[in-house]
Amino acid sequence: MQDIVLANLVAIGEVPAPYQHEEGRVRMMLERFSECGLQSCSTDATGNGMAILPGTEGTDNILLFSNVDTLADEHAEPSLAFRKDEIVGPFIGDNSMALAAMASLPILLERLQIRLKANIIVMGAVRMLGHGNLEGLSGFLNNSGLPIRYGLSLEGVQLGRLNYACLGQLLCDITVRLPEDYNWVQFGATGAIISMNDIISRINKIPLPRRPLTTIVFGMIRGGVSYRNIARETVLSFEVRSESAELLSQVAQQIEDITEDVAAHSGVTVKFDIFARRAPGGLDISHPFVKQSRAIHTALGLQSQLYSTTFALTSLIEKKIPALVLGLTTGTRRDNLPEIEEAVAIEPMWIGLAQLAGVLLAIDGGFCDVA
């Protein structure tokens, strides 16, 4: 079984899949799905790659999905390296490992002699990260017409995670731009970076409560062309997370006030764009789906890591579909720009796959349903 999972990992993980250029990886993924015995391999209108493992009864559908897109540079040529205990390569944990596990699922279940009653729909979802804003998953849920009974979001790492709820999120860009008629003499020719600095300082001073947990993550900043030219434009990308939808709205209003104030006082143009809004929500920790999954972890010797995630479950929660996030193995990430290199451990994968088979059996047996 090891060679099949790892060969799928090589086949899928070595095809580049930068945001909006995921077609190659989707094609390869579908080829692997087909080779490994999944049926009806196809792409949908959004570009997601999907296939079905038919159940013996086929009355229920379980959705198993993972993101196909990566944050890789458009011209990156990902190559995986095999070490004795681990595989190393760009974005292998997020999320080639999960795609490889999905492709290997029919063979895994066959070898374990597991025949499920429900259909399993496996999907590599495109345009999920950043500005993609979960487009692949939303597109599938809105347009497929298939009733989904349960959802499982697979992540390459970390084994033991059990995300049953989502924090609310705002994904935001602030763009500071010098206007064409910018008065260099009047305003001291400070350029866009100084104004952005002012905005960041003021956002950082917004008081955030620990309960409900609310945080702001400054993720990325870019601007200017060289060290000797005053920057005409700078862009800040950040995320606001909160357990409270009301707090998210309050923070968004405060940031908007800050940007308007800075624009008014400095003469620069400031654009505040919230391009994704996700409401907090999820399952209750006492939901049988969570309890059964925790029991499976315990049986496999894993300590469940229960925490709210910021990704993936939102679209399912909005549709009232019970959903969890599971990790498949242990791993590490090294931010080695321009590529993020990740390592996944080989040995724990088998526990991760056993966990997946166990959770699917629990769903299929009706043990995760609310009485």
Partner 1 sequence: MWLKQWLAKRKPAKRITRPPVAVTGWLQTNTFHHSQFADLRTLVAEKEKQHLTISLCIPALNEEKTIGKEITVFKSELMSRYPLVDEIAVIDSGSTDKTCEVAQTFGADAYSAADILPETGDRKGKGENLWKAIYQLKGDIIIYVDADINNIHARFSYGLLAPLLLKPEVKYVKAFYDRPLTVSKGVRISGGGRVTEILVRPLFSLFFPELTAIIQPLSGEYAARREVLESIPFPIGYGVETAHLIDIYQRWGLRAFAQTDLDQRIHRNQSTQALGKMSFGILQTFLSRAQALDLIGEIPERSQVLRQFQVRDNTYEQVDSLLKEMERPPMLEIPAYRRKFKRH
Interatomic CA distance for residues 104 and 346, integer angstroms: 15
65-80 burial code (b ≥16 CB/10 A, e <16): bbbbbbbbeeebebeb
Helix axes 2-13, 23-35, angle to 10 degrees: 160
Nearer to partner 1, 79 or 303 (CB): 79
Q: Indicate which single residue of 80, 208, 235, 274 sits in contact with partner 1 (rule: CB under 8 A).
A: 80
Stretch 91-150 residues interacting with partner 1 (CB under 8 A): none
| Least Cβ distance, residue 122 to partner 1 (angstroms) | 18
Ordered DSSP codes for 188-232: TT-HHHHHHHHHHHHHHTS---TTTTEEEEEEEEEE-SSTTS--S
Quick check: 340 binds partner 1 (CB under 8 A)? no
Radius of gyration of the chain (CA): 22
Quick check: 14 binds partner 1 (CB under 8 A)? yes
Quick check: 2 binds partner 1 (CB under 8 A)? yes
Quick check: 276 binds partner 1 (CB under 8 A)? no
Interatomic CA distance for residues 157 and 352, integer angstroms: 10
Closest CA to 129 of 149, 163, 155: 155
Residue 148 DSSP label: P
Quick check: 7 binds partner 1 (CB under 8 A)? yes
Of 73-81, 189-197, 204-212, 221-229, which segment contacts partner 1 by CB under 8 A? Answer: 73-81
Quick check: 79 binds partner 1 (CB under 8 A)? yes
Interatomic CA distance for residues 248 and 276, integer angstroms: 12
Phi, psi of 275 (to 5 degrees): -95, -10
Q: Indicate which single residue of 45, 84, 229, 301 sits in contact with partner 1 (rule: CB under 8 A).
A: 84
| Least Cβ distance, residue 198 to partner 1 (angstroms) | 37
| Least Cβ distance, residue 112 to partner 1 (angstroms) | 16
Quick check: 77 binds partner 1 (CB under 8 A)? yes
Residue 93 DSSP label: I
| Least Cβ distance, residue 16 to partner 1 (angstroms) | 12
Of 62-70, 79-87, 138-146, 295-303, which segment contacts partner 1 by CB under 8 A? Answer: 79-87
Quick check: 83 binds partner 1 (CB under 8 A)? yes
Quick check: 35 binds partner 1 (CB under 8 A)? yes
Residues near partner 1 (CB under 8 A): 2-4, 6-8, 10-11, 14, 35, 75, 77, 79-84
